[in-house]
Amino acid sequence: MVSPRINPRVAAEASVQARNPLHAKPRNQCILISVRGKCVQHIKGIIFDLDGTLVSSSLDFNAIRRDIGCPPQQDILDYLAALPANEREQAQALVFQHELDDAHSSDWMPNAQSFIHQCALAKIPMAIVTRNSAQPTHIKVTRNGIPISHVVTREQSKPKPDPSALLAIAQQFDLPSDAIMMVGDYKYDLQAGRNAGMATCLINYQQLPDYVHLADYRFEHFGLLSDAMFNASTARF
């Protein structure tokens, strides 16, 4: 009886698989599973935060709070909403000036532009929901040539973590909430996604924040998210 010939490359791969279970998974099988048990590749639509997510932001929230008298732990938009009308107008003008200054220096976050390009090629509908106001948002979108026309600013909807804007977008996408992913760098993004029944993705972090438990997926930058969505067989961990 003749022994079957063994391809040396196959034998080497089998040896690697025996030593490392991650390599034992078949190629192209999705191996990036969220805490809710769903593969990131089930996502059919994406909603992005803007500042610190798609583009850089140098907004100094401590300086803004100091300028308008907002206590350190209070949400700035909640503080503005609770001010008497005449004081609110002045405070809003100060916040707006900070936002305008920031808008003129914003640039793409690492790998964000190519990720959006890949999503567009894959015909994944995209939107932006930001707590920023309309004019600075428009400047950032135009300055960086962000190819997303569906943009919701704080003038148009209740601010995150309220899910209103996200739910309206789900209707416009004609997708169920759980087929949409909210991608952002801060807890309000993740809370809004959770409140809308969407998948949530934390992006652009250097150290895991204390709100990481709100994220179904987490990637240190868009290059890793891109691998997970479009090239799972080479995804890194």
CA distances from 211 to 91, 125, 164, 219 (A): 29, 27, 21, 14
Minimum separation from the CB atom of position 63 to Mg ion (A): 17
| 51 forms part of the interface with Mg ion (CB under 5 A) | yes
Query: Which stretch, 26-34, 146-154, 186-194, 199-207, contacts Mg ion (CB under 5 A)?
Result: 186-194
- Given a contact cutoff of 8 angstroms between Cβ atoms, the answer to whether 202 and 190 are in contact is yes
- Paired with 70 in beta bridges are none
Of 125, 143, 220, 218, nearest to 179 by C-alpha is: 125
Reduced to 3 states (helix: H, G, I; strand: E, B; else coil), residue 218 is strand
Q: Which stretch binds Mg ion (CB under 5 A): 59-67, 76-84, 159-167, 182-190?
A: 182-190
Residue 10 Cβ, how far from Mg ion at the closest point, in Å? 47
Piece in contact with Mg ion (CB under 5 A), picked from 120-128, 159-167, 180-188, 216-224? 180-188
Query: Interacting stretch for Mg ion, rule CB under 5 A, among 23-31, 43-51, 88-96, 144-152?
Result: 43-51
For CA atoms 53, 57, 63, 65, give the dihedral sign. negative
75 CB-contact burial (10 Å; exposed 0-12 / middle 13-18 / buried 19+): middle
Determine, following the binding rule CB under 5 A, whether residue 185 of this chain makes contact with Mg ion: yes
Q: Which of 52, 125, 159, 193 binds Mg ion (CB under 5 A)?
A: 52
* Residue 186 binds Mg ion (CB under 5 A): yes
Quote the tokens at residue 73: 């732990």
Residue 188 CB, nearest distance to Mg ion (Å)? Answer: 8
Is the Cβ of residue 187 or residue 232 nearer to Mg ion in the bound state? 187
> Could you list the residues that contact Mg ion (CB under 5 A)?
49, 51-52, 185-186
